[in-house]
Amino acid sequence: MENGKLLDVRDLRIVLDADGEDVPIVDGIDFSIAPGKVLALVGESGCGKSVTSQSLLRLLPRELRIASGQIDFRHPETQLPVDLASLSEDGKAIRNIRGNHIAMIFQEPMSSFSLLHSMGDQIGEVIRLHRKTSKAETRTLVIEMLDKVGISDPDRAYDQYPYEFSGGMRQRAMIAKALACSPSLLIADEPTTALDVTIQAQILELMRGLQGEFGMAIMFITHDLGVVAQIADEVAIMYMGRVIEKGPVREIFLDPKHPYTVNLLRAIPKLGDLRVRRQLEPIRGAVPSLFERPEGCAFHPRCDSFMAGRCDVQLPELAEIAPRHEVRCFLHETAREGDAT
C-alpha cells in the first residue's frame, strides 16, 4: 500500500452467482483515496459502483461475492494496512471497523433506521458499540452530534422516532449516526439522489463542513455529474464494472480523454450552455446487459472512435496520460510516453 493513502483498492473483482454461473459485476478495478479527500465514483446503471461500495465493508448480498483483489485500509489505530477483502464477513475485525473507522450512508434514509427505536437510541447504539461510555455520556455525545448536523432542538429530537422527521432531517440524522465515532472514511452511496435540490444543497454543504472539521475522507457514489463537480477532489468513472478514467476533478471535467467521459459530459444539460442553446449530444445505444458483456473494451459498440480489430478484441490497460490522470483506452495508450494526443 502506498504511503499517504487511506484506502487502496487493487484489482477488485466481484461476481454474481447466477444459477451456478459466475457473472462479473466488477471486473478488476483500482482506485485509492487519500486521507481527508473526496473521491467520487461515477457511473450509470450497471457500472457496479454501488456494489463496490458495499464490498468495502463486506456487506454484499448473498448472490455476490468478492472473487479476487485487495482492499487495503490504513487502520487508524495501528497505522498499518488491513486487507478488508481478506477479513471474515462476520468476524470481529470487520465489525470493529464498521461504524467506527469506516461508516456508510445510503440513498434512502428511512430504510437505515429502525421504526421501533428512538433516534437517540439508534445513534447512541453506534457509540456504545465502539466506545466505553456511560449512558449519560452517550446521550451528551449524541445530542452534540445532532446539533452538529444542523437538527434544531436536538434534545427533543433525541427522543423522537424516525418517522417524525422530514426527508432532509432524516438524511442529517443518518449522517449524525455515521459520524458518531469520527470515522476516517465515509462511504456515501447516492446520499442526495432522492432529495430535493435545495435540500441536496444543504446536505452537500453539511458534508463539506463536517469533512473539514473531522478531517475525514469521503467516497461519494453518484451518477449526477453536477454534484461530482461540486464536491469531489478526485473522480473515477466506471463503465460496466471497470474504471475507464480517473483523475483530479478539474482534469476530468475540463480535459476528459475517454470517449465515454467526453460523450457523457456532452450529453448532460448545463446551465452554462443555456444562453448558447447548445444541442445535447446523446450517446447512442444503451448500456448492455451484464450477461452480454462486449469483448474487449465494453464501450466499443457505442464509441464513435471505435477501432475495429483492436477495441473489440483486447481490453486496454489503465494508463497514466497526465499526472494522476489515467485512462483505459487504446486512443491514449501511446501518451504513456508523454506525448500529448
Partner 1 sequence: MVDAAQSKPRRGGRLRRPELATQWQLMWWKFKRHHLALIGMSVLAMLVFLSVFAGFIGPEAPFNRNNKFISGAPMGIHFFDAEGNFHMRPFVYARTTKRDSVTLRKFSVVDESTRWPLRFFVRGASYKFWGLIETDLHLFGAEGGFIHLFGTDTLGRDLFTRTLYATRVSLSVGAVGVTIAFILGAIIGGIAGYFGGMIDNLIMRLIEFIRSIPTLPLWLALSAALPREWTSFQVYLAITMILALTGWTHLARTVRSKLLALREEDFALAARLSGCSDARVIFRHLLPAFMSYMIVDATIAFPEVLLAETSLSFLGLGLREPVESWGVLLYAAQNIRSIAHMPWLLIPGLVVILAVLAFNFVGDGMRDAADPYSK
Partner 2 sequence: MTSLLTVSDLKVYFPHGKAGMFGRPTGYVKAVDGVSFEIQRGETFGLVGESGSGKTTLGRAVIRALEPTGGDITYHRDGAAIDIMALDRRAMRAMWRHMQMIFQDPYSSLNPRMTVRDVLSEPLIANKLAKGAELDDRVIDIARRCGLDVEHLSRYPHAFSGGQRQRIAIARALVLEPEFIVCDEPVSALDVSIQAQILNLLKDLQKQLNLTFLFIAHDLAAVAYICDRVAVMYLGQIVEVAPTEALYYSPKHPYSEALMSAIPEADPRQAMKPLLLEGERPSPANPPAGCRFHTRCRYAMQICRESPPALQEAGAGHLVACHRAEELTLKGALEQGPP
Contact residues for partner 2, defined by CB under 8 A: 44-45, 166-169, 196-202, 204-205, 223-230, 249-250, 253-254, 263-265, 267-275, 279-284, 286-287
Q: Which of 54-62, 106-114, 193-201, 285-293 is the region at the interface with partner 1 (rule: CB under 8 A)?
A: 285-293
The owner of cell 455476490 is: 64
Binds partner 1 by CB under 8 A, chosen from 91, 215, 269, 285: 285
CB neighbours of residue 296 within 10 Å? 17
Q: Is 17 or 159 the residue whose CB approaches partner 1 more closely?
A: 17
CA dihedral 222, 229, 220, 25 (to 10 degrees): 50
Q: Is 205 or 304 the residue whose CB approaches partner 2 more closely?
A: 205
Q: Is 25 or 85 the residue whose CB approaches partner 2 more closely?
A: 25
Q: Is 178 or 195 the residue whose CB approaches partner 2 more closely?
A: 195
Identity of the amino acid at 274:
L
Q: Is 27 or 72 the residue whose CB approaches partner 1 more closely?
A: 27
Binds partner 1 by CB under 8 A, chosen from 68, 289, 334, 341: 289
Q: Is 21 or 339 the residue whose CB approaches partner 1 more closely?
A: 21
- Is residue 301 part of the contact set for partner 1 (CB under 8 A)? yes
Q: Is 19 or 90 the residue whose CB approaches partner 1 more closely?
A: 19
Cell readout for 211 is 469533512
292 binds, among partner 1, partner 2, none (CB under 5 to 8 A by kind): partner 1
Nearest CA among 36, 33, 35 for reference residue 7 = 33
Q: Got the DSSP string for 63-76?
A: TEEEEEEEEEEE-T
Q: Which of 5-13, 181-189, 194-202, 284-292 is the region at the interface with partner 1 (rule: CB under 8 A)?
A: 284-292
Helix axes 167-179, 135-148, angle to 10 degrees: 130
- Is residue 111 part of the contact set for partner 1 (CB under 8 A)? no
**Cβ neighbours for 239, distance < 8 A, ≥ 6 positions apart:** 43, 44, 47, 260, 287, 298, 299
Decide if 321 contacts 257 (C-beta within 8 A).
yes
Measured in degrees and rounded to the nearest 5, phi and psi for residue 198 equal: -75, -35
The C-alpha atoms of residue 115 and residue 119 are separated, in whole angstroms, by 9
The C-alpha atoms of residue 23 and residue 291 are separated, in whole angstroms, by 7
Q: Strand 319-322 vs strand 64-74: parallel, antiparallel, or unpaired? A: unpaired
Binds partner 1 by CB under 8 A, chosen from 250, 278, 284, 336: 284
Q: Which of 37-45, 85-93, 176-184, 281-289 is the region at the interface with partner 1 (rule: CB under 8 A)?
A: 281-289
Taking the complex as a whole, the smallest distance from the CB of residue 253 to partner 2 amounts, in Å, to 5
Query: Which residues contact partner 1 (rule: CB under 8 A)?
Result: 18-19, 21, 284-286, 288-289, 291-292, 301
